[in-house]
């Protein structure tokens, strides 16, 4: 870009053909020196060239860029415009703020577009910032998959239910209870560490209800905004106090711009404005700021490659990430406050003592050294629109200008209904699951009890039968013994085979053993129990083959014994 100096060192950003190039511009000067005025002048130049103006950050929460919807009223501003031939005027400005239940429902407010982000459309940058990690951890993988699996009607409660289902896996059999204060998540499931980490990071969004289902009518429409070149688009987080959520909003907005530009079929150039960029891309950031800085730097490079531009400022040059400073295609340095900052800039750019002294005290307010062209300081043209002065309050000025005011209780109530509907759906589903689980457990308990009773009955029958068997064996043993010693019986009738047949035993050997056991029992032998056990086993053994082989031998032995007698 070739700058053209006009009227007493005033500077326009137009090139020799009257156009502005896509640039990454940085302005550095102490508080109150006029960074805002310089930025607003640059916005106006780009707006005239057909760029869509996007002020996506409001670090002070005072709607600073929105003052351009008013006409300038300060004498210094009006004299400046008169000198450069500009006519004071208002800019068409649209205001945007993420939805929050902290919004005042009974106050009259300016015309503000309260918007939400689609949970389903959030990507790695947003979830990395929320969970404060850029690495491809299990936590990031889980929540990315859980958000992608959401339907158009699923919101934050369903997201956390998806996360829980992915984490607990096959964990069954343990008693769990849904916690209504924690998205109705079950306590004591799976790897609770991951679930607890994600839950704690997502909890603040129940109050700052800016993450909505994909079908929400309040989801931000980036294509509509980017193609609206007529208005300035000013975003603020005025009613959000959590700095991390403020940063999340800025990152989500910037990511939305980048993704929409990538897929937008119509030609579109934007100027992204980031006041006090040191709060977004600071020197050596930590925690979620490190993630924020990483992606902001990445997005700045992407939009410039797409033919768009960025504009940022900071009170302290040294507070800004070195990569951001080095990537600025145009840098303007005004009067600085800190000696360390001046020394570092002087060393970095090789400035001589004369310039170093001017950085301590510039001859004219709102004058800057353009890095690379430091022969003389220049003054950037002021915007023809209004500027926030030190004690200005945006809402007071808005009311004073008698612009349209309205209440937003209707939208707040609708969002409350949407939130309650989402919560109640999950609540009812959990109740059904718990009722089903109770019924399942009760059924299992009854079946177990029935099996136990049936088992007890079976055991009782077995014991009863066993008792009868024991009594029967005892009687058989007695008969075997008595018959074997009964001298009134014929000797042939006292053979073990005959005794076995009369008693009902399969084997004459069993009859013989029964008689021996009973004899030992009478004598009180201590080995009785062991013998009884052996015989009970022997009674139920199949000895038919052995019996058939030994029949003839046993008969012959008995006859031989009788002859000898």
Distance CA 229, CA 232 (A): 8
pLDDT by 10s per residue, the chain, length 565: 334 344 344 555 666 676 777 899 999 999 989 999 999 999 999 999 999 999 999 999 999 999 999 999 999 999 999 998 999 999 999 999 999 999 998 899 999 999 999 999 999 999 999 988 876 777 888 888 899 999 999 999 999 888 888 777 534 444 555 556 555 555 443 455 667 888 888 899 989 999 999 999 999 999 999 999 999 999 999 999 999 999 999 999 999 999 999 998 788 999 999 999 999 999 999 999 999 999 999 999 999 999 999 999 999 999 999 999 999 999 999 999 888 999 999 999 999 999 999 999 988 878 899 999 888 888 888 999 999 998 999 999 999 987 789 999 999 999 999 999 988 988 888 888 888 988 999 999 999 998 988 888 777 776 665 555 566 888 888 888 888 888 888 888 889 888 888 888 888 888 888 888 888 888 865 455 555 555 555 554 544 455 455 554 444 444 344 444 3
> How many C-alpha atoms does 355 have within 13 Å on its Cβ side?
23
Q: What is the DSSP string of 365-411?
A: TTEEEETTEEEEEEEEPPPSS----TT--HHHHHHHTT---B--HHH
Distance CA 29, CA 52 (A): 26
Give the pLDDT confidence score for residue 108 in this predicted structure.
93
Stated pTM of the model? 0.76
522-548 in b/e burial notation, b at 16+ Cβ within 10 A?
eeeeeeeeebbeebeebbeeeeeeebe
Give the pLDDT confidence score for residue 3 in this predicted structure.
41
Residue with tokens 């918007």: 115
The answer to whether the beta carbons of residues 506 and 497 sit under 8 Å apart is no
Measured N-to-C along each axis, helices 138-148 and 192-202 cross at an angle, to the nearest 10 degrees, of: 60
Give the torsion through C-alpha atoms of 2, 269, 289, 33, to 10 deg. 50
The answer to whether the beta carbons of residues 189 and 164 sit under 8 Å apart is yes
Task: Output the six-digit token pair for 250.
Answer: 């800025």
Residue 140, beta-bridge partner list: none
Give the pLDDT confidence score for residue 366 in this predicted structure.
83
**CA distance readout (Å), 271 to 35, 39, 43:** 17, 11, 8
Put residue 313 in one of left, alpha, beta given phi > 0 → left and psi -120 to 50 → alpha.
beta
Give the pLDDT confidence score for residue 293 in this predicted structure.
95
Distance CA 365, CA 381 (A): 13
Task: Output the six-digit token pair for 548.
Answer: 């058939």
């Amino acid at each position: 870009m070739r700058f053209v100096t006009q009227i007493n060192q005033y500077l326009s950003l137009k090139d020799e053909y009257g156009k502005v190039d896509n640039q990454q511009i940085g302005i550095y000067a102490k508080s109150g020196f006029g960074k805002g005025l310089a930025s607003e002048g640059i916005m106006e130049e780009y707006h005239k060239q057909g760029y869509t103006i996007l002020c996506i950050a409001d670090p002070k929460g005072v709607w600073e860029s929105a003052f351009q919807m008013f006409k300038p009223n300060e004498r210094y501003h009006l004299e400046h415009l008169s000198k450069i031939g500009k006519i004071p005027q208002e800019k068409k400005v649209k205001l945007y703020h993420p939805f929050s239940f902290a919004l005042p429902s009974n106050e009259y407010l300016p015309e503000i577009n309260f918007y939400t982000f689609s949970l389903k459309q959030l990507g790695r940058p947003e979830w990395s910032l929320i969970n404060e990690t850029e690495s491809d951890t299990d936590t990031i993988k889980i929540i990315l998959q859980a958000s992608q699996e959401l339907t158009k009607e699923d919101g934050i409660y369903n997201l956390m239910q998806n996360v829980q289902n992915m984490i607990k896996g096959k964990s069954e059999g343990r008693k769990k209870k849904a916690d209504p204060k924690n998205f109705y998540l079950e306590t004591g499931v799976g790897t609770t560490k991951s679930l607890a980490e994600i839950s704690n990071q997502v909890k603040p969004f129940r109050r700052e209800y800016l993450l909505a289902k994909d079908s929400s009518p309040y989801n931000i429409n980036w294509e509509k905004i980017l193609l609206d070149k007529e208005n300035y688009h000013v975003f603020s987080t005025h009613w959000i106090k959590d700095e991390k959520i403020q940063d999340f909003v800025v990152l989500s907005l910037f990511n939305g711009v980048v993704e929409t530009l990538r897929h937008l079929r119509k030609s579109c150039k934007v100027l992204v404005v980031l006041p006090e960029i040191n709060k977004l891309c600071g020197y050596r950031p930590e925690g979620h700021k490190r993630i924020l800085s990483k992606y902001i730097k990445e997005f700045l490079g992407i939009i410039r490659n797409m033919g768009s531009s960025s504009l940022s400022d900071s009170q302290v040059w040294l507070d800004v990430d070195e990569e951001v400073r080095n990537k600025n295609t145009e840098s303007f340095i005004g009067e600085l406050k800190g000696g360390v900052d001046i020394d570092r800039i002087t060393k970095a750019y090789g400035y001589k003592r004369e310039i170093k002294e001017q950085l301590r005290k510039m001859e004219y307010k709102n004058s800057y050294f353009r890095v690379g062209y430091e022969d003389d300081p220049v003054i950037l043209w002021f915007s023809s629109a209004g500027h926030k002065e030190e004690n200005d309050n945006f809402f007071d000025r808005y009311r004073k200008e008698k612009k349209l005011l309205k209440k937003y209780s209707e939208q707040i109530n609708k969002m409350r209904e949407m939130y309650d509907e989402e919560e109640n759906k999950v609540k009812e589903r959990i109740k059904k699951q718990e009722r089903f689980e109770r019924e399942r457990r009760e059924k299992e308990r009854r079946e177990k009890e029935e099996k136990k009773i049936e088992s007890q009955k079976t055991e009782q029958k077995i014991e009863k039968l066993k008792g009868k068997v024991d009594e029967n064996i005892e009687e058989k043993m007695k008969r075997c013994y008595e018959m074997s010693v009964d001298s009134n019986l014929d000797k042939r009738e006292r053979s073990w085979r005959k005794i076995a047949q009369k008693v009902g035993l399969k084997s004459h050997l069993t009859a013989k053993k029964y008689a021996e056991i009973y004899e030992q029992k009478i004598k009180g032998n201590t080995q009785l129990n062991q013998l009884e056990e052996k015989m009970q086993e022997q009674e139920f053994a199949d000895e038919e083959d052995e019996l058939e082989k030994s029949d003839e031998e046993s008969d012959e032995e008995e006859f031989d014994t009788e002859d000898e007698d």
